[in-house]
Structures are given as structure tokens and as C-alpha cells.
């Protein structure tokens, strides 16, 4: 285990306390069994007697860093201990080349539709970390637009097809209150693409331009162009209105393989909590407010009734703004040093996909 940063250490812990606590955490990450003082004293070169180790573990329990299951003489780390471990001991290395290649193969090729790309991302994270994965669909209002077109479905229905700079496709069906032919829709497409080309900005900026044009003197537009502006504005508005529904959760059943979740009622409660997308969205949106990796441990995760669950979350960016978030949910004893680089690299790779660098 790496040497901790002295400035970030709690004053009530001595170097001996930290050494033993670190050893307990190491052993518990490897196996979810309570850690005993005799095994600890002999397996980590602590140069202390089992009695000394036992006394220190008792002190750490009193301070809230360890707890003692009723059925065992050993102890296990609490969320407070894992928070200390993550904040002071943990050293994360970049993802090795072979593991980067494994992530890359999961996107070979990247899906060209947003929902499919998000499912692809969830599957990659779950398969490589063996934990549940969460991904929010990007705020497309922050991405660049390459193409827009309209397809007549029937007399009062039009399909708006929007393609981002990266080739990601979003479709929205719109109801119209005027008769329109496919030829007229093609003319609207050409007009809007010319308008978008002049704007040269994100979908949000283009939407602002359309809103401004809608508020302008309509007499300066012919009827077809007015309808084109209206359809374009509605198509982009529909993307924003669907934002809160866009959350993918993959691999929830991975908790069934975790020994600490052997109790069926506990697993059922956790899975119910994971199905509450609004709660998950709230914590993922919290992560967007800070750069880099965010780690939520125990009660910080806001998952109902779960003290033994952690979330590792990162945001993925477009050229100039945050698009969305992704992450992994697993037991507090997950191997943070192994999982964090996967989350970081996948977030970076997804950003490059949306910026059009891949695909």
C-alpha cells in the first residue's frame, strides 16, 4: 500500500494505526472474510504480536474505522475506513495498453445511435470491471450538428433525423398541423443545413438561433421557411425534453456474485434502489460539478439502505462542455485501483467518439 499523505490524515490515527488499518483493507479487498489479528500479524510483516494487533484493531473499531460481525472474531473495514483509504492511500496508475485495447475492442465500431452507444458503453464497463455500470445519455444540445433531415411518415407526422459531428443519430417523430410533401421537407432540410452551417455552433446554439428567428418578423420569411424553422426548433426541443429518461444501467445482477450480498432480501432491496433512475441521475449530476473521478462510498451513494455500496463516476466531455456521466457501482471493498482506470479511460474514449475522432 502507498504511503499516505500526512496532511490529509485524521489526527487521532498514529502511524501504527494506519499500518494495521491499511493491511485490514488490503486483505478485505482480496476476500470478503473478516480479518483476524493473528493472520494479520503473520502475513504483512508488521513486527507486532497478535495481541498488539488485536488491541489496535479494537481501538480502530472504537473510532469507527472497523466493525466486528456478530458471527466472527475478525473485523471488517467500514465505509469511513474506505473513504480514508481512497482519499489518502490510493494511488491509481494509467490503464495498461492491453486493457486499453480491450476497451477499444468494445467500440469496434462505435454504434451510430445514441441509445445503442450508451448500451455499448454500459456493456463494456460491466464486462471489464465485473460490476454494475451506469451511463447517462449525452446532452446533445452541447454537441455539434453535421446533418438534419425530415422524412414524411404520413400526412400529419414527420420524422426529424439529426446526426451529430461524430455520426451519432437521434430521431424524433413530430406531429404537424399542415399538409407537407417530401419535396417540401427536402427544401426545408437544405435551408436548415445552410442555417446550421452559418451558426457553426452546438445544437444548443443552433436552437437559440432558431428561437431568435421564430421571434423575428415572420413576414420576412416565406411560409415554407417559417415551417422549416419551426420544425427544426421543435426537433431540438424534443431532445432536451427527453433528457431525464436517458439513463442506462447494465450488469445489476453482478451483485449476486458478491458474497456480502448473499442475503436475497438485501439484494432485492439493492436492485429496487438501482431501478430508481431519478435517484441515480441526481448523484450522477452531482458528479458533473467536479472534475475528474468522483467516488461515493456508503451513505454518500444515496442508494436506499445501502452502506456497503460504492460508486466510481466520471463525466465525459465534448469540445467545450460536459456531455454526460458514466460509472461503476459495486461493493465498498471493490478494487478501486483496478476499476478507476477503466472508468477514466472509457469516459475519455466516449468523449472522443462524440467529438468525431473515432468511428
For the stretch 220-249, pLDDT in tens is 556 777 788 788 778 877 665 554 447 889
Of 68-72, 159-163, 179-183, 321-325, the one with minimum mean pLDDT is 68-72
CA distances from 282 to 102, 273, 285, 289, 346 (A): 30, 13, 5, 12, 21
Q: Is residue 5 part of a domain?
A: no
**The predicted structure's pLDDT at residue 245:** 47
Q: Supply the CATH number for residue 31's domain.
A: 1.10.10.10
pLDDT at 334 over 90: yes
**The predicted structure's pLDDT at residue 2:** 54
pLDDT tens for 25-44 read 999 999 888 999 888 888 88
In a shared domain, residues 321 and 349: yes
**The predicted structure's pLDDT at residue 325:** 92
Averaged pLDDT, 55-80: 89
The answer to whether the CB of 283 falls within 8 A of the CB of 295 is: no
Q: Supply the CATH number for residue 150's domain.
A: 3.30.390.60
Q: Supply the CATH number for residue 254's domain.
A: 3.30.450.40
In a shared domain, residues 129 and 250: yes
Averaged pLDDT, 168-189: 87
**252-257 long-range contacts, CB within 8 A, separation 24+:** 252/132, 254/126, 254/130, 254/131, 254/132, 254/330, 255/132, 255/330, 255/331, 257/130
In a shared domain, residues 41 and 67: yes
Number of domains in the chain: 3
In a shared domain, residues 199 and 153: yes
pLDDT tens for 77-130 read 999 999 999 998 888 999 999 999 999 999 988 887 778 889 999 999 999 999
* Residue range of the domain that includes 151: 141-243
The answer to whether the CB of 125 falls within 8 A of the CB of 344 is: no
In a shared domain, residues 133 and 270: yes
Name the band, by pLDDT with cuts 50, 70 and 90, for residue 305.
Answer: low
In a shared domain, residues 161 and 252: no
Domain end point (choices 195, 218, 243): 243
pLDDT tens for 252-281 read 888 888 887 777 777 777 887 777 777 788
In a shared domain, residues 148 and 125: no
Strand 169-175 and strand 294-297: the pairing is unpaired
In a shared domain, residues 151 and 216: yes
Which cell numbers in the block locate residue 100? 486499453
**The predicted structure's pLDDT at residue 204:** 64
Q: Is residue 3 part of a domain?
A: no
Averaged pLDDT, 326-345: 95
In a shared domain, residues 26 and 155: no
In a shared domain, residues 237 and 255: no
In a shared domain, residues 41 and 85: yes
Q: Is residue 2 part of a domain?
A: no
Amino acid at each position: 500500500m502507498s504511503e499516505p499523505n500526512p496532511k490529509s490524515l485524521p489526527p487521532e490515527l498514529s502511524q501504527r494505526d494506519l499500518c494495521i488499518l491499511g493491511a485490514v483493507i488490503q486483505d478485505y479487498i482480496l476476500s470478503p472474510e473478516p480479518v483476524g489479528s493473528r493472520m494479520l500479524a503473520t502475513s504483512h510483516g508488521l513486527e507486532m504480536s497478535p495481541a498488539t494487533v488485536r488491541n489496535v484493531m479494537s481501538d480502530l473499531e472504537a473510532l469507527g474505522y472497523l466493525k466486528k460481525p456478530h458471527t466472527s472474531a475478525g473485523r471488517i473495514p467500514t465505509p469511513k475506513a474506505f473513504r480514508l483509504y481512497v482519499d489518502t492511500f490510493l494511488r491509481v496508475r494509467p490503464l495498461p495498453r492491453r486493457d486499453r485495447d480491450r476497451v477499444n475492442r468494445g467500440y469496434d465500431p462505435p454504434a451510430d445511435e445514441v441509445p445503442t452507444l450508451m448500451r455499448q458503453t454500459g456493456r463494456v464497463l460491466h464486462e471489464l470491471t465485473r460490476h454494475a455500470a451506469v451511463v447517462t445519455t449525452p446532452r446533445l444540445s452541447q454537441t455539434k450538428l453535421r446533418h438534419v433531415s425530415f422524412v414524411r411518415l404520413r400526412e400529419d407526422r414527420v420524422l426529424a433525423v439529426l446526426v451529430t459531428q461524430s455520426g451519432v443519430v437521434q430521431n424524433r417523430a413530430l406531429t404537424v398541423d399542415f399538409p407537407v410533401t417530401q419535396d417540401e421537407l427536402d427544401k426545408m432540410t437544405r435551408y436548415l443545413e445552410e442555417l446550421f452551417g452559418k451558426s457553426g455552433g452546438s445544437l444548443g446554439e443552433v436552437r437559440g438561433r432558431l428561437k431568435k428567428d421564430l421571434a423575428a418578423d415572420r413576414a420576412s420569411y416565406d411560409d415554407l421557411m417559417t415551417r422549416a424553422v419551426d420544425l427544426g426548433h421543435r426537433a431540438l426541443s424534443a431532445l432536451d425534453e427527453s433528457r431525464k429518461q436517458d439513463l442506462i444501467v447494465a450488469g445489476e445482477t453482478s451483485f449476486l456474485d458478491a458474497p456480502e450480498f448473499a442475503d436475497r432480501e438485501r439484494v432485492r432491496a439493492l436492485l429496487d434502489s438501482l431501478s430508481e433512475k431519478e435517484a441515480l441521475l441526481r448523484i450522477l449530476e452531482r458528479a458533473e460539478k467536479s472534475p475528474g473521478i468522483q467516488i461515493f462510498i456508503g451513505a454518500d451513494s444515496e442508494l436506499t439502505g445501502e452502506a456497503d455500496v460504492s460508486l466510481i463516476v466520471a463525466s465525459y466531455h465534448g469540445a467545450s462542455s460536459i456531455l454526460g456521466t458514466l460509472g461503476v457501482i459495486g461493493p465498498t471493498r471493490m478494487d478501486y485501483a483496478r476499476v478507476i482506470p477503466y472508468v477514466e479511460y472509457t469516459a475519455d474514449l466516449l468523449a472522443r467518439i462524440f467529438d468525431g475522432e473515432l468511428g
